[in-house]
A and B are shown apart, each in its own frame.
Chain A
Amino acid sequence: MFLLALKMLLGDRAKYWMLVGGLAFSSLLMTQQYSVFQGLMSWTTSHMRNMRASIWVVESRVEQVNESKAMRDTDLNRVRSVEGVDFAVPLFQGVLKARTADGSDKMIQMIGLHSGTLYGRPPRMIEGDIAQLRLPNSVVIDTLAMEGTRLGSGMGRPLRVGDVFEINDREARVVGICQTERHFFGYPYVFSSYDQALQYSPRQRKMLSMILVEPKPGWDTAEVAQRIMKETGLRAFTVPQLEASTIRWVWNNTGIPISFLTTIILGFVVGVAVCGQTFYSFVLENLRNLGALKAMGASNGLLAGMLLFQAMIVGLIGFGMGIGLTAFFGLTVAQSGQPPFKADAAFVFQSLAAVLVICALAALFGIRRVAKLEPAIVFRG
Chain B
Amino acid sequence: MTTPLRSVNPVSPTAAPVVGNPLGSLAVGARGIVKVFGVGDARTQALKGADFEASEGELHLIVGPSGCGKTTLLSVLAGTLSSDQGEVNLFGTRLTGLSASEVTRFRCRHIGFIFQQFNLIPTLSLVENVSVPLLLNGAGRRDAEAKAAERLRQVGLAGRERQLPTQLSGGQQQRVAIARALVHEPRLVICDEPTSALDSMTGHQIMELLSTAAKAPGRCVLIVTHDPRIYGYADRISVMEDGRVTHVHAGASLSSYIHSENRS
Residues of A within 8 A of B (CB): 1, 3-4, 7-8, 10-12, 286, 288-289, 291-299, 302, 374-376, 378-381
Contact = CB atoms under 8 A, between A and B. Distances in A.
Contacts of B109: 297
B113 A296 contact: yes
A288 B117 contact: yes
Nearest to A286: B121
Nearest to A8: B123
Contacts of B136: 1, 293, 296-298, 302
A375 B80 CA distance: 5
B75 A376 contact: yes
Nearest to B180: A296
Contacts of A294: 80, 104
A193 B128 CA distance: 78
Interface of B: 71, 74-75, 78, 80-81, 101, 104-105, 107-109, 111, 113, 115-117, 119, 121-124, 128, 132-133, 135-137, 141, 192
B104 A378 contact: no
Given A292-B119, A374-B81, 17 more contacts: A1-B136, A4-B121, A4-B124, A8-B123, A11-B122, A289-B121, A289-B122, A291-B119, A295-B107, A296-B108, A296-B132, A297-B104, A297-B136, A376-B81, A378-B113, A378-B119, A379-B192
B16 to A, nearest CB: 15
Contacts of B116: 379, 381
A295 B113 contact: yes
Given A7-B123, A296-B132, A379 B71 contact: yes
Main secondary structure of the interface of A (DSSP, over half): helix
A253 to B, nearest CB: 55
A288 B119 contact: yes
A12 B71 contact: no
Nearest to B133: A296
Contacts of B71: 379-380
Contact of B123 (A12, A292, A295): A12
Q: Which 8 pairs, one residue from A and one from B, show the smallest C-beta to C-beta distance?
A: A11-B123, A297-B108, A292-B119, A375-B80, A376-B75, A376-B81, A376-B80, A297-B107
B132 A293 contact: yes
